[in-house]
Structure 1
């Protein structure tokens, strides 16, 4: 997994495309090594496979032009948002052109009465919510990074709010994408529901740039809650915290967020974010609704937590305190890296049915202890999704090999529990070996047929999702 193969390069085609793109885009095409390596990847631990150039389009028309040039010369195209993906989605194993969509960052239309917004793919989630603030609406999907919404759609991202508001596939009403032919695909309209043919929107959401380059998104919005209450409580064990989550979901408590931090993560977060949380397993919870409703929900959650030995239950409706806690949660990845300075993080993201959550998390912790890893655990546990972050010395080949073995073991464990090898990060390159184990050969053959039908020359993000190359 660490030593990713480079795919055959079309040297003549790449040279021809570079010459044409340089003439057309001038300073908006860059071949500098540092920028190319950044666009190979930023946060992933996988081998860097940089593109041959990076181009910055400003419109759907310009994306079409880039795609047509590359299609003519059979040159790979790798879409790029903000570079926060974790599974090698933006690597260029066959070289080619990275299409950086970050400068396509206009908010095209807000429809408050319909609770939707039309945007370009380079808009980030924080920028969108800042723009929406005065409308009383917000976009709820919140992965840890301030990712671009085009990239979030491409990987079907989710985050801490998924237990209440779903993932990107539940919140993208329609999109436009440039196909490998250079044509623009419109997948749907702004209607809230449709029975018109195949669900092309969901086909594109999660396709990781292998079927088209997303150039416009219509997103479902939510009303900003009248009242929000956040609460923290500590537990004697991760198992007790997970059992509290299971009971909360089964009780039907309308929780908006429910996050697990193990003791090691809490230690890192305390140091990084200057907090003083008890360094034992912790649940961080949030409720949305009316003032009376959130107070009642918080109290009910506290009673459930008490049954599993929770202590230190604290709730707050103060925005400053809530924001501080959730920013610390979003910074948990970086906080955890400080637990072993110089190490790289290998982030797993399995997801299992909530009823199997305690079994899966405790088995994962036992396995990391057995293998001698420093491995903090966090999770969007309301929907059964958690992350074991292995802190690895990448210069130690034996340790890297053990880490690869653990990732495979955990993926197989989740699959054996009717779960998935990836709840939100996507497949990219890093999870490709496990996809066939999860879905089987018939599903892989269907995906390969779709890919071949749309992209017969395999120019869009080749070498990803385990598709034939």
Structure 2
């Protein structure tokens, strides 16, 4: 039979075409092979080249995903999951071709368990839509990576975002998953119970696996009650160092701040122009406090005292929802706001994370690199948990400029690792940061990751060429 002969007699491209024909027979109009659609489903948000799949399948149910995976397994063809396309390290590229499974149509909210503070959703549900649906029940899902990412993608990249300093990251807020395995079977990783000591923690194995071990088709999430009071604030500082030291003092003093975001003076200038703000063009912290009316005032007062000791303030508060929305939208639009700073250049967003005690040192050394290398690279960050980003403006067609940018990113990661940090706090590995896996984890740990990949995906069909090389 053809499948048995596929390994030895057919090229990868021929096997991929065979899969496409099989899927057209099974799924008909859900299979698209047009170049424009395929390119839209490859990496488009960074400097990495666009590597499109051979076809895109718009899955509408778990059975569709199973059909794709089983066909790909039979012919040993790559299969790549797609959520909303907002990832930043080439996670959705198809370097070996294959089939992209677009999960955006799997967008049902399957259950909201109000009394248990959890919900069950399909992977194509986006975070904004989820919160719109939850609002009337007095609940919300706090993770906010900026882009209107899909919940499946957020789980796959182990995202965090602006609220992580108080509510944790995706690994802390996923209770259970349903996953299509590399053989096309469906497994459930856990129950809805808030704790368990029954066996291996499969949920956290898949959270952050970037689709290299299976495709997530259902997610059970923790929910939270909408706070009685919410207040946002903007606090200027004389220097980035003063702002970072205030962040460190805030976290170490136990103030339960919900968000605490850094924008350096370059980013503030860009955000002023893009979002029509009128902030002083100096290093600035964006903050948000959640709780009762009394506790919010107490948090804000305690923060104000710490900031004043380091020359910061006075803070300007935004209590009305529309004011807070404008402020946080400006923060989320940081990527787009910097594009006019160097017309014609491409924005390359990269992140690192360090222990909070090393934050000021890491940011200041990074600022010196930017200035000494003559780069345009505004700094923003979820600094409450030691995570910050730089948006590097690069002429990718200029070899000298591109080489300088790569050197800068290398030095940034090496600095973070030397300080006990990580090469990425929330963007993930994908293709872009695979080279840092060895220095961060060591060969022994990396080989264990490879062993897990080989054991669970022996044909190496699940998003190959990401995280670890097999």
TM-score category (smaller protein)? over 0.9
Please give the alpha-carbon distance, in whole angstroms, between the structure 1 residues aligned to 2:298 and 2:163.
20
Q: Is the 8 A contact 1:447 1:467 kept in 2?
A: no
Please give the alpha-carbon distance, in whole angstroms, between the structure 1 residues aligned to 2:93 and 2:80.
8
Gaps of 5+ in 1: 1-7
Residues 336, 9 of structure 1: alpha-carbon distance in 2 compared, 3 angstrom cutoff: farther
Pick aligned residue for 1:265 from 248, 264, 267: 267
Residue 321 of structure 1 deviates from its aligned partner by 0.9
Question: What whole-Å deviation, never above 9, does each CA across 1:395-430 have from its counterpart, x for those lacking one?
Answer: 111111111111111111000000000000000000
Q: TM-score, normalised by structure 2?
A: 0.97
Pick aligned residue for 1:253 from 244, 252, 255: 255
Please give the alpha-carbon distance, in whole angstroms, between the structure 1 residues aligned to 2:28 and 2:374.
52
Partner of 1:430: 432
Partner of 1:83: 85
Residue 284 of structure 1 deviates from its aligned partner by 0.5
Residue 388 of structure 1 deviates from its aligned partner by 1.1
Question: What whole-Å deviation, never above 9, does each CA across 1:269-298 have from its counterpart, x for those lacking one?
Answer: 111110101110000111100001101111
Please give the alpha-carbon distance, in whole angstroms, between the structure 2 residues aligned to 1:349 and 1:205.
19
Question: What whole-Å deviation, never above 9, does each CA across 1:88-118 have from its counterpart, x for those lacking one?
Answer: 0000000000000000000000000000000
Please give the alpha-carbon distance, in whole angstroms, between the structure 2 residues aligned to 1:311 and 1:112.
40
Q: TM-score, normalised by structure 1?
A: 0.97
Please give the alpha-carbon distance, in whole angstroms, between the structure 1 residues aligned to 2:292 and 2:443.
49
Please give the alpha-carbon distance, in whole angstroms, between the structure 2 residues aligned to 1:77 and 1:187.
21
**1:179-258 alignment to 2 at 5 Å?**
179-258=181-260
Please give the alpha-carbon distance, in whole angstroms, between the structure 1 residues aligned to 2:278 and 2:126.
31
Residue 311 of structure 1 deviates from its aligned partner by 2.8
Q: Is the 8 A contact 2:23 2:67 kept in 1?
A: no
Q: Is the 8 A contact 1:259 1:378 kept in 2?
A: yes
Partner of 1:320: 322
Please give the alpha-carbon distance, in whole angstroms, between the structure 1 residues aligned to 2:220 and 2:340.
38
Partner of 1:164: 166
Pick aligned residue for 1:401 from 400, 403, 417: 403
Partner of 2:33: 31
Q: 1:298 aligns to what SS in structure 2?
A: helix
Question: What whole-Å deviation, never above 9, does each CA across 1:315-341 have from its counterpart, x for those lacking one?
Answer: 232111111101111111111122112
Q: Is the 8 A contact 1:55 1:100 kept in 2?
A: yes
Q: Is the 8 A contact 2:304 2:313 kept in 1?
A: no
Please give the alpha-carbon distance, in whole angstroms, between the structure 1 residues aligned to 2:305 and 2:312.
9
Please give the alpha-carbon distance, in whole angstroms, between the structure 1 residues aligned to 2:216 and 2:384.
30
Q: Is the 8 A contact 1:429 1:466 kept in 2?
A: no
RMSD of the alignment, in Å?
1.0
Please give the alpha-carbon distance, in whole angstroms, between the structure 2 residues aligned to 1:413 and 1:466.
22
Partner of 1:71: 73
Partner of 2:370: 368
Please give the alpha-carbon distance, in whole angstroms, between the structure 1 residues aligned to 2:36 and 2:399.
26
Residue 349 of structure 1 deviates from its aligned partner by 0.7
Gaps of 5+ in 2: 1-9
Please give the alpha-carbon distance, in whole angstroms, between the structure 2 residues aligned to 1:305 and 1:228.
20
Partner of 1:4: none
Please give the alpha-carbon distance, in whole angstroms, between the structure 2 residues aligned to 1:206 and 1:446.
16
Q: Is the 8 A contact 1:444 1:467 kept in 2?
A: no
